[in-house]
Structure 1
Amino acid sequence: METVTLPLAELIIRWSRRKGPAFTVGVRPVRNSYLIGPGANAFIFGNDRLFRVREAFKALIPVDGETALIVTDGPDHTRRRALVRPGLHQRQINNYVQIMAQTADEALDSVPAGEPWDAYELFRAAIRRSTMRSLFGNQIASQADTMGRDLQPLLDLVNLWPQLVAAHERLGTPRWRRSVQARDRIDEVVYAEIARAREVGPDEASNVLSTLAHGRDAQGSGLSDLEVRDQVVSLIAAGYETTSGALGWLVHCVGADAQLQGQLREELAGVTAGAAPTAEQLRELPLLSAAVTETLRLYPPAALSARYVAEGFEFAGHRIPAGATLIYSPYVTHRDPDVYADPLEFRPQRWLEQPKRPPHEFLPFGGGAHRCIGSAMATTELTVMFARLLARGPFTIEPQRVRATSFAAMRPRDGMLIRQA
């Protein structure tokens, strides 16, 4: 299997080899400072007071909203995160494993026997439906595809450079107007569901939305309708966009290795006997878990991430001024031969030999105070849905050119064609 590269991230690797772990590149308005490598990651995660995320991710506000965790700092972030966390705790996620498996099976039932099909696109739609079922329950699942179509103009917008997003907003371009109209349609659905969740008791609906709508902190304060809306839309948009990308890469890596695929299918059959895995059985699949982890290492959902420098500092002899945009890269760290032996080799066994890595060496979901709160949900969904694909029998990758795109949610640019026996 040929390891797929992301051109911008590869350029950063070359810069770091020449310039060291800290450097600045570009001319204003596109001039960024870079902190690269595990030491830089540890510094960023350990010095949250020096940084803010709102300015760094403000281009996401048109989709995620003003109060989303990804654009929130300080006490507001701490408060909202504490109220969102119970809905995404592993104990709660275990309740959604059956939904994940059922949704994957429904999608796989539509696959034409013996014909090539796009695994990335199929699972992208399935993950969107699964996420919405877990958020809202089955009642709204029928609207998952419609909401996905409405989300796409917004996702396409925020995949642009932040300066371009700001220009579209300032000029009120047709692209910006289409995005606003799509957001309004999404909000109409989400706010109706929030109202419904508030009307019923917290014990009458076992889903994420109910937890968000009825959660209270130690002072008895809960999330406003706007705050609930922003967390919900963030979970839908970021969740299915990043998770489906990672699943596409998992299919790519395992599909190219018939021996590994056979070992995974043998492990799965020995635990589940062909049935959908339960939450408890997921813990009995170490090789499958290692394959998921290795995929997240080689193809981290956010290849690059950013911080706004609120207070100037010095790192590795390089001065980073206040007001700078700082870039760090899970992709670069994960492909560093000083951190991982044979870093471009897809080798799940490395996670059986060394199951744990420090957070500054393995950071597919970021780290520190702003580590992605949905990481457990994403990892569980990856594992369950791929298990259902494996249970259908061996598959092979069709001849195709596989390219990576998007530093915010790295995914196969042209899909992932496979054929199942």
Structure 2
Amino acid sequence: MTTTQARVLRTEIPGPNSRELQRRRDATVAAGVASVLPVYITEASGGVLQDVDGNSLIDLGSGIAVTNVGNAAPEVVEPVRRQVAEFTHTCFMVTPYENYLQVCEELAALTPGDHEKRSALFNSGAEAVENAVKIARRATGRPAVVAFDHAYHGRTNLTMALTAKSVPYKHGFGPFAPEIYRVPMSYPARDGRPGEQVAREAVERIEKQLGADQVAAVLIEPIQGEGGFIEPAPGFLPAIAQWCRDNGVLFVADEIQTGFCRTGAWFACDHENVVPDLITTAKGIAGGLPLAAVTGRADLMDAMPPSSLGGTYGGNPIACAGALGAIRAMREQDLAAAARAIGDLALPRLRALAEDTDAILDVRGRGAMIGIEFVKPGTTEPDPETTARIAKACHAQGVVILTCGTYGNVIRLLPPLVIDHALLSEGLTVLEEAIREHAR
């Protein structure tokens, strides 16, 4: 790590150099590409981001759950440097290379289940989801795909159809891909019902409105991300997975945000021993380089005709080198245990704070994937305005946090799994002070 692991504020946030760069941005970058915090980064490592004004910010976002192993991790940097010097691209579909195979071997070993598996590599989470849907439809011969309330699966046309939230992701961008259907999601803070009961309601809706024999796949985030860090009640995921097995429907786990040690296990499905037919991964897989994958049962993956899967940059050799380094770091440093330790530090503090205010509906999460849901005091009415004020106050104090949720009322914490605990504790103190000031 080259960046000092400390919060340092030399200017206001954003500082003058960042504001100057923002003026240049306004003249050249499309307005539809927004940034949470317009500070311009020059260096990052561990749990710190350094900006062009010399400020060092505590990173509780990890580039949206991407830099699980920390920014510029040596285990990622060195193999990437070697690969760049050797060759940067041939296209795996033209002339292949070994590190693509090695990534697929790692995925076969790490993803849930001990069955024989195959993988195909892509560039982004949305691309992985689209290909999972292609595979499911081709393998089953069925058209329908079921997604859930509060789901987020991407911004392409098909994944917008799968995503539940309209603004800003879908509004005005239709029409969307057909044969996408939505059913209830277990949301313990709001429905308070056992997981099996909500699963029965979801299944009944599928059977009544579609018929099981029309469904190619049920697609679900084991813990929802953008939808609000919603962790379904125990029993919900196993019940849905069992219905899929009983009816020849593919259970597809979108582990793009939850995967690679983020929740305290290699994958969130592991917490309830759920084994998906297909699993999509991206974000944390390659330490900050663009890489994604669909991994699934060998019989399903091998049923795809030659050249029906792929893409020019899918499984780029540089990204594959980064992935192998990131996976090595996760394994050698036991970053699943590190994620659990982050949760053990953060969750009790935040839950104690929630006891102090009736503006917090719920503090939830697993490992280093934690959400705080804000409501109008004494009600269950979402309070996105207070949530935004808290986030803004944290940003001004040099702590990068993100918001999410269907109602925009959840603060999400996604620190790098290698963050120094003193630094994390300092970031939590800033957050607690902002909550005390703005959520009363």
**Structure with greater strand share of residues:** 2
Q: TM-score scaled by structure 2? A: 0.24
Q: TM-score scaled by structure 1? A: 0.25
| RCO comparison, higher one (Cα < 8 Å, 6+) | 1
**Structure with greater helix share of residues:** 1
